[in-house]
Structure 1
């Protein structure tokens, strides 16, 4: 199957160096979107509707594609394409955050739910999948149903040295390998630290992960076929004052609630 989108959304701070991480907001409380100043008002004017930071995030999920300088995000000039992209992006976002905003957690395509059928009693030697019974096995532990789409779902690899999986590595196998790193023969120092026994909490993660992967695979053809239509031009963004992006907006933002003082806006700590 084709690799997944490579754009992941999480409410948690990712551990390790997993490639480019971009917060949606620059400051706590969502007070300052991590977007080019002036972009949201411009998009609202062009599309004839309010545009929130999360709308831009959903658009990115729908249209973002790998490019020479990272993921490229074309901005449509067509309000209808914008709304179509938002619909797709919102469904992708709902799958990735897995119901944390409330409501019923998502189900597999067709309405099924995977369950842990048997617990892992000892550290599993490997991860296997039975296509006939749609059962995922970790030693004595089993989870089912696990559709083929979830078992085979893969995302593009992260840059060399970043600690991520290789290109096209199926997510479930990468998930298992990451939890066994400390038991490898080459593990040294901090890399060798880890639980001596398989935590049951890890097994409990699998049903939600399997569901998310299956739903992302189900949405993949629609995402692959989606096109943004006519685009906003660089010249137009420049004329609107969105480009070039101000230097200050690329610098780390303050997380303090009061106005900073001192050279360069630094707050003096005495």
Structure 2
């Protein structure tokens, strides 16, 4: 079903109308795969003075040491100008830095050129962020994460418009219309699961009134969502297998390669297996995921910059993350044939949604919710009105 056809399927942009451009950091050093290194970078910035602090900060037109900005929603960073900032580093938070690459970020608005506060306002344990990841090489068209996404260039579509899982980001009336056609009451999470299983490269989403097909698609989409988010669970390869370190990794591996015959991932002299070829070949956005993940942790940084502050040796946590990533990619590759087997019957078309008044969506549905129930601190400790 994910192949492109011309059957009047509605656009994802109409089914999940509120979207936000991805955050833009403006400098790389506030994010990284190691939280302790981020705290060390912060300490190094604050120890520097005058021109040295400015050079380390890497100012842009959007952010300098003199920028006055409010606190990010839900975070506890300071709001005084960085020129005179003191105190400990704000506790780093988990983010999706690239496809299938969870890293850490210092959640300080003063460090980020375009933080997209509207995303931070709705980020909580109930939220699912859907990220457009256009690909013509067979990779996933959408990614899903429980963490704030930083990857570019695709737009971000939260499942919920308000914190606490309130107000689904779905076309008004869509749930009710699908319920009548399917003879059941789909939940917002069911619609998201269907979208993840059936979205096409042109970012249209075929809908159906076939209850059996809908159930199969939702079940498959839930599997995709679980593999992309996991939330602490450890997946296993078919037969209960898991990749293991067969030969120890060096303290700072510099190269990554793959032995297809042995199904072994090679990190210098280190060896990890079994690694199914589907995991090694898995791409997102036209880039091989495992290579991109490894490069993000090993590519040399420019000397005498904050980005050059990183672990002296390869942390054990990275090995654990790599082993889990291999499993996730292999299992996601297994899902693709099942997605292709979903043959659309009894379609619910965009024209039908127009006739039913579901489309076009009202302009307000494309904007963030405007009323929140908590205060936010503005620049220099002032309260912001939102």
Between the two proteins, the alignment pairs up a number of residues equal to 243
Structure 2: gaps (5+ residues): 1-136, 375-382
CA contact (8 A) 1:135 1:143 kept: yes
Distance, in Å, in 2 between the alignment partners of 1:119 and 1:253 is 51
Maintained 8 Å contact 1:122/1:197 = yes
Deviations 1:132-181 (A, max 9, x none): 332212224332211111111112x2xxxxxxxxx2x2211121122234
Q: Aligned to 1:94, what secondary structure does the other structure show?
A: helix
Deviation at 1:88, TM superposition (A): 1.8
1:85 aligns with 2:201: no
Q: What is the TM-score normalised by the length of structure 2?
A: 0.57
TM-superposed CA distance for 1:65, in Å, is: 1.0
Farther off after superposition, 191-200 or 239-248: 191-200
Partner of 2:228: 96
Q: Are residues 116 and 255 of structure 1, via their aligned partners in 2, closer, same or farther at CA, if it must alter by over 3 Å?
A: farther
Structure 1 or 2: more strand by fraction: 2
Please point out which of 171, 182, 188 is paired with 2:289.
171
State the partner residue of 1:237.
353
- Is 1:58 matched up with 2:193? yes
Could you say if the C-alpha distance between residues 56 and 101 of structure 1 is closer, same or farther in structure 2, counting changes exceeding 3 Å? farther
Asked if 1:150 corresponds to 2:279, the answer is yes
Which of residues 197, 200, 220 is equivalent to 2:313? 197
Q: Is the Cα contact below 8 Å between 1:137 and 1:143 reproduced in 2?
A: yes
Q: What is the CA–CA distance in structure 2 between the aligned matches of 1:152 and 1:188, rounded to whole Å?
A: 36
Correspondence for 1:123:
252
Root-mean-square deviation (CA), in Å? Answer: 2.7
Q: Could you tell me which residue of structure 2 aligns to residue 31 of structure 1?
A: 166
State the alpha-carbon separation in 1 of the partners of residues 236 and 229 from structure 2.
13
TM-score for the superposition, normalised by structure 1: 0.79
Q: Which runs of 5+ in 1 are unaligned?
A: 158-166, 259-266
